[in-house]
Amino acid sequence: MNIAFATSALIEIDVQNDFCPGGSLAVMDGDTVVEPLNELARTFAVAGAPVIATQDWHPAGHSSFLSAGRKPREGEILWPDHCVQGTAGADFHPKLDIKPVTIIVRKGFRPGIDSYSAFFENDRKTATGLAPYLRGLNVDTLYIGGLATDYCVYYSCMDAILQGFAVYLLVDAIRGVGYPENSIEAALDAMKIAGVKTV
């Protein structure tokens, strides 16, 4: 990998306990993204390049939880309670090295809106502020990995392309939910068509 560190950033999506084995919304082998991301994060840090970590950060009783007892809107998926603010499930995986991380972006904290993407919440309008932040750092190229391939990684990559960034998906540092069936394959196909490159 020949990375232009002066104009690149690494984004580590939702490497949190609830998405790892033993968590309430565990992704199969979710913890295997930790080592490759750590290695890359240290490389970025040494080069003085920004490393962004995102955190799914829901208030208790969030509207995306099945336990809220709400009928899902068209195309919406409700989830088991996960990544509740301040709980161990919302913490980063204990082996994730956060020393190289330069900013943590929390999302999904508005009670009524779910948020998969690191850039925009699921209403597709409410911004997290990440795009202007990255532009302010003169970043035009993103290396993205983490959890989950078919949700937060997918929406983050697609929004990054829409925001005009070049996007490299770290294929050895992503794992997916796989629900509904073929969602991982569909996400990978759609990202490829959108212009996301794989490394």
Considering the complex, what minimum distance in angstroms separates the CB of residue 192 from ligand VGL? Answer: 19
Query: ω before 50 within 30° of 0 (cis)?
Result: no
Please identify which residue in 57, 65, 79, 143 interacts with ligand VGL, judged by CB under 6 A.
79
Neighbours of 94 (CB within 10 A): 10
Q: What pairs with residue 168 in β-bridges? A: 143, 197
Considering the complex, what minimum distance in angstroms separates the CB of residue 147 from ligand VGL? Answer: 5
97: contact with ligand VGL by CB under 6 A: no
Instruction: Name which of 117 and 141 has its Cβ closer to Zn ion.
Output: 117
Burial class (CB in 10 A: 0-12, 13-18, 19+), 147: buried
CB 158 within 8 A of CB 118: no
Please identify which residue in 12, 31, 56, 159 interacts with Zn ion, judged by CB under 5 A.
56
- Residues annotated as catalytic (active site), given as ranges: 14, 107, 152
Q: For residue 157, what are the contacts with CB-CB under 8 A and spacing of at least 6?
A: 144, 167, 169, 191, 194, 196
130: contact with ligand VGL by CB under 6 A: no
The 3-state DSSP class for residue 87 equals: coil
148: contact with ligand VGL by CB under 6 A: yes
Please identify which residue in 53, 84, 147, 167 interacts with ligand VGL, judged by CB under 6 A.
147
DSSP 106: E
Q: CA 115, CA 197: separation in Å to the nearest integer?
A: 24
Please identify which residue in 41, 139, 144, 152 interacts with ligand VGL, judged by CB under 6 A.
152
Count of residues near ligand VGL by CB under 6 A: 9
Q: CA 32, CA 4: separation in Å to the nearest integer?
A: 26
Stretch 46-65: interaction string toward ligand VGL, x if CB under 6 A: ----------x---------
Q: CA 89, CA 71: separation in Å to the nearest integer?
A: 25
Instruction: Name which of 8 and 149 has its Cβ closer to ligand VGL.
Output: 149
Query: What are the residues binding ligand VGL (CB under 6 A)?
Result: 14, 19, 56, 79, 116, 147-148, 151-152
Query: What are the residues binding Zn ion (CB under 5 A)?
Result: 56
